[in-house]
Structure formats: structure tokens, C-alpha cells
Chains A and B, each alone.
Chain A
């Protein structure tokens, strides 16, 4: 499998660091961003294959990031990973064309599996 370019976006730094380490152990090298703004900045520099995105963040929230990414970089596969279970968010996210919508807390193996699937989806 080619190297998957992965971007993890979440405002919980502790969590994102631990997640990043663990993914690394599973041969998934991920970049990290701690806010919506940071994520967009990152994307504009280097377009990732897969993006794992939290919704509720201070500043620009995940839904706004999603809207922009979907309109500007439709190739990026986005997996929503959120603690917020709002139906309407989910509906809108699906409407915007996310690859998956996962609710925290998610088992690491499931996350890895979905990231890989997303990558395969993009390659097709």
C-alpha cells in the first residue's frame, strides 16, 4: 500500500498526539492540526488523501471546514470524527459528501480500517 497522506484535525491536543502515535505504530503517518483555520492552511500547502475531522472546535468549526474542503478540494476523503451526535450535522455532512461519520469514542482499529477504506475509495 502506498503511503497514505493523512491529516488529523481536533482541538484536543492530548488526544490528537496519542492518536497520531498509535496510528504511526500501524504504519499510518498523520499530520495534525488543532483548529479549523490551521487545517485549511495545511490543506492549501499540501493536499492530503484522507482527513479525519472533528466538528465542534473553537473558531471555525468542522462543518465550515468540511464545506470549504468539499468545494475546493473534492478529492480529499473526509471522515468526520465527533463527539457531537446532532442529527442535522450528520445529515448535512452526508449531503456534503463525507466518506464516513464516526461518533467518539471510536476504537482505534475501526478508525484505521475506515481510513484505509477511504484511501482505497479515492484511488478508484
Chain B
């Protein structure tokens, strides 16, 4: 519409300024579009990142804490089990040692060295105490360190052996009893020696005890795969086999009866002292191999969590894409509406400008035309020959009038251009005009938390009017209402039929209302309460438009505060004009 009419205008100035306006708009739009694209991309990435973090962090946190909680509680439980196991084994071993010791002590107490020194007596005793096969041999050694009697498999080898200078012999003479470390004998069976001296310290009863039961006792200790159970002497030498072959003594003080617990990253240890600290029983559990099942479950869980994270990222990406797309679309619609509203206002402004310019030109044109006509008529009345070159004058007058007509065509066309939208009054639906105007301003209102509540009567009659002019009025009044409210409020719009089939339109706002003196002057040109922000023309133009449409407009304060603008329109205008 613009280009068509504007092209027909030779008014270069108007055209140029229109062009300038449009080029400026395009450039600005293009720039904004450029930055908007990256804005949406940034928003999208931010959104994905946030959604991912919000779901992944708790997931990872819960997993980590539950894994480490499980691991720690397993360590605590296993430590307790290990401790009670160590306790029970220690008790059995101590009992075994004590019973062997007591048995020999009883023999020494009840029998004289002379009696025990008899080979036949010793054999009798050996057979009676060795029903379980725990004692390998039994011998009585006299003060000089020589066997007086011996029962056992090594009679040949031990016949001439003298123990007088042996450490264990010296010790048993000194202390009354002795228990050796464990050694592997000739047949590869672990043994230890218990020796008891008689009260006079002139003979020693010596027994070799098979310590195989220690080994089976420790092997029975239900330590897991990679675990170990062994006994060490003070020097750290193994008294029993070690499954792993790398026996070590855990640090820390080991009090008898209360297993010392200790754990490194890989192992848990429980240690007790035996024989008053001569030996130490060590139980060892391998954390990693015991937790192997747990670790494999954990790995499966980690894979599952990884899949969940991938799923979350995918969903977040899809979700934010569709969300951002929707926001983008909404923004675009909003911009389009905004542009349309600006166009409506711009065109109205251009129309008014064009109309006043053509009016100003038409008056002088009329004078030129009539003066030229007057000259023409005077010339006609002149007598032949009184005016030289009369033909030339008449010709000039004709040309002047022709160009006045040409100028008139231009100004009339310019006036035609100023009629925005409908050239003639048309039937209009008031409710549709109201709805469209509301859509222009919806975002503006939402930004300021202003609710627009419409109460539109359904069966409003069709009005014969100028829809675009009327819309201009609605726009002015609603913008005025939004400005008056500022922020947080409501605009109520109500349409009703009047008794004579016209329309009554009410715009009520919850703003501060009309101040004193404002009510009388609100429709005056250039009157504004919004210094610097407004020309003060909007409501005055609205007033004029409504007057011309044959309607009425008034502004009042509401009792409950705020102001209300009421427009009354007749059912039709310009009936003559339409005929």
C-alpha cells in the first residue's frame, strides 16, 4: 500500500524520508537478529548444562556416598568378625598349649625322676598319654644332658646326644619349664618342644608335640580369598605356613585377649599375642579381593549411571531445544505484533502529516487558480488589439491553470494516501478490534505485570465505521492506561450494546486516576502529565476521531480508584457518504 502510493508521489522529500525510515528499521532489525541467534544458542547451552548438572550431581553424589558407606560398613563388619575369629583361635591354641604343659607337669609332679628314667615306665606313660597321636616322642634327660630314657622314632639318632649346653636345656633348668618355637622335623611335620624340670631341677621331662593341629586350626579360619592366617614368633619367623608367603606383623601394640585391629588400603589385620607375647597370631583379610563382587556390582552401576547421564543429556538437549524454539517463536510473534503496532501508529502519523501538508498547499492553489481564472476572464473582456500579444497572455493563463490542476491531483492523491486502511467506512466488529488491540499490547502489559481482563458482550452488532481509526483510539487509550498504572494492576475492558444498537466500550484501569484539573483538560492537544515521554496528542486525537465518528468519549475517576474511559458509538456513520 505504501510503496504503491508513495511511488506515484513526486514528493521526493516524503519518499526519501519514508525510505530512510524503512532502511533504518531494516538495519537495526538485521543487527538485532544477528545477536539474537547467539543469544538463543547461549540460552540453549546454559539450559542443557543446568539440567544436566542438576540431575547428574545428585546421582553421582548418592552413588559415591552409598558406595563408600557400603565399603566402610563392610570393613567395620569384617574387622569385628576377624577380631572374634582371632579371639576364638587364640583361646583354642592357648588351651592346647596349656593342656600339653599341664599333662607333662602332672607326670613330673606324680612320678619321681627315677621312675620316669626307666625305659619301660616311660613307654607305659607314653602309650597312655599319646592315644591322640599329638605327642611324637617323650624323653627324660638327666642333669648331665643325656637321655636316660626315650620313647619315640628317633632313639638311634638321639642316643648319644648331649643337651647340657643347649639353650633350651639351660633355660628349663633355670625356669622350670620351656616351650620352643615350632620347627619342622625330619618327617616334614611341624613340631615344638615342651620341657619341664622336676622340682629339684636334676632331671627334665621333654616331649615333642605335633603342631599340625595349629595349621588346620588356622586353615579353618574362614578368611576370604586373598586373606591369610599365621603365627609369628618374636623374631617375626613363621610358626605356621602362610598361604601368601609374605607374612608381616602389623604395627601397634598387641595386648593379649583383645585383638589389635589395624587396616591399610588393601588389608585388614587382627592380631593377638600367644604365650605371653612369645608368639603372635595374625589374621589378615584382603579388602579388594573380598570386595570383588561388590566392585563388579559397582562397575555395573557406574555403567548404568553413565547411560543414565547420556539419557539425561539427550533429554535435556531435546527439551531445551524445543523450549528455546518456542521462546524464539514467541519472541518473533511479539516482534511482528510490535512492528505491526508501530506501523499502525506510523501510518496514522504520516497520514496526519500528509493531510495537513496538502491542506496548506490546497488553499494557495485555490487562490492561484481563481486569480488566473480571473485574469483569463478579464482578458476575454478586453477589446481586440488593446492588449498586445493577447494570445500569449491567454496561453500563459491556460498553462497556469493546467499546472494548478496537476498540483491538485498530487495533493488529492496525497490525501488519499493519508486514509489509512479503509478508504470508505466498512462494517466492523468492535470485539475483534478490541481483541486485536489487546494482542498488540499484551506483552507490554505482561512485562509490567498488568492484567488485561476483557468482558466482551457476545452479540455485539456490526458497526459501520472506520475500523483503523477506531483501533487507533483503542490503542491510545490502552497505552495511556498502561502508562498510568506503571506496574502491577488491571485493565478491564467491557463492551455492551446501547439501546439504539450502537456500542458502548469501557476501559477501566487501576492507575492513580485523574488528578484535579486533569479531567477537564485530558482531551486537550499537547496536554500531558507524562513530561518528556509523550506528545500529549494521543487522547486529543482520540477525542477528535470519536467525535467525527459521531460518537462520544468521556474520562472519569472510578469510585474504587483508577480512571475509566467510556466510548459510545452510533450504529452507523456516513449513511449519506455511503449512498
Report which A residues bind B (CB closer than 8 A).
12, 14-15, 18-19, 21-22, 25, 56, 82-92, 94-95, 97, 103-108
Contacts and interface: CB of A to CB of B under 8 A. Distances in A.
Nearest to A90: B577
Contacts of B574: 90-91, 94-95
Contact of A88 (B365, B416, B466): B466
Contacts of B412: 85, 103
Given A19-B370, A85-B362, A91-B550, 10 more contacts: A18-B367, A18-B371, A21-B374, A82-B359, A85-B415, A88-B469, A90-B577, A91-B425, A103-B415, A105-B369
A95 B573 contact: yes
Contacts, number: 101
A104 B425 CA distance: 23
B576 interface: yes
A83 B415 CA distance: 10
Contacts of A91: 425, 466, 548-550, 573-574, 577
Contact of B373 (A82, A84, A85, A108): A108
A25 B466 CA distance: 42
A22 B370 contact: yes
Nearest to B549: A88
Interface of B: 355, 358-363, 365-371, 373-374, 377, 404-405, 408, 411-412, 415-416, 418-419, 425, 466, 469, 544-545, 547-550, 573-577
A84 B544 contact: no
Most A C-beta atoms less than 10 A away, residue of B425, B575, B577: B577
A53 B238 CA distance: 134
A14 B368 CA distance: 10
Given A104-B365, A105-B408, A92 B550 contact: yes
A30 to B, nearest CB: 13
A19 B549 CA distance: 33
Closest 9 CB pairs of A and B: A83-B362, A88-B548, A85-B415, A94-B576, A91-B574, A105-B366, A104-B366, A94-B577, A104-B362
Nearest to A91: B574
A61 to B, nearest CB: 12
A87 B355 CA distance: 10
A60 to B, nearest CB: 15
Most A C-beta atoms less than 10 A away, residue of B361, B369, B419: B369
Nearest to A97: B576
B419 A87 contact: yes
B548 to A, nearest CB: 3
Nearest to B372: A18
7 contacts: A83-B359, A83-B360, A85-B362, A85-B412, A91-B573, A94-B576, A108-B373
Nearest to B370: A18
A88 B544 contact: yes
B577 A108 contact: no
B521 to A, nearest CB: 20
Nearest to A88: B548
B514 to A, nearest CB: 26
Nearest to B414: A85
A83 B357 CA distance: 10
B423 to A, nearest CB: 8
Contact of B359 (A84, A90, A94, A97): A84
A54 B244 CA distance: 122
Nearest to A106: B366
Most A C-beta atoms less than 10 A away, residue of B374, B404, B412: B374
A85 B355 contact: yes
A94 B425 CA distance: 13
Nearest to B375: A18
A11 B86 CA distance: 126
A85 B366 contact: no
B377 A25 contact: yes
Contacts of A82: 359, 362
A83 B577 contact: no
